[in-house]
């Protein structure tokens, strides 16, 4: 995780998608994030 990432309060959708893909070690799409948001909120 970059130092800049630690200071950011909000991420763009592209940044969130890339970060989650890196953390999970598998591809994640913006549609995946939208679906997760709709299911859990």
Helix ranges (H only) for the chain are 3-7, 13-24, 30-40
Cβ atoms of residues 19 and 27 within 8 Å: no
What is this structure's pTM? Answer: 0.66
In a domain, 18, yes or no: yes
Cβ atoms of residues 17 and 30 within 8 Å: yes
In a domain, 33, yes or no: yes
In a domain, 29, yes or no: yes
In a domain, 21, yes or no: yes
In a domain, 30, yes or no: yes
In a domain, 36, yes or no: yes
* The pLDDT of residue 1: 59
* The pLDDT of residue 41: 58
pLDDT tens series, the chain, 41 aa: 577 767 778 889 898 899 999 999 999 999 998 887 767 65
Domain that holds residue 18: 9-40
Domain count, the chain: 1
* The pLDDT of residue 29: 95
d(CA 19, CA 15): 6
d(CA 31, CA 6): 24
């Amino acid at each position: 995780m970059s130092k800049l990432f630690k200071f950011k309060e909000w991420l763009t959708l592209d940044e969130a998608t890339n970060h989650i893909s890196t953390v999970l070690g598998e591809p994640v799409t913006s549609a995946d994030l939208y679906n997760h948001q709709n299911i859990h909120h």
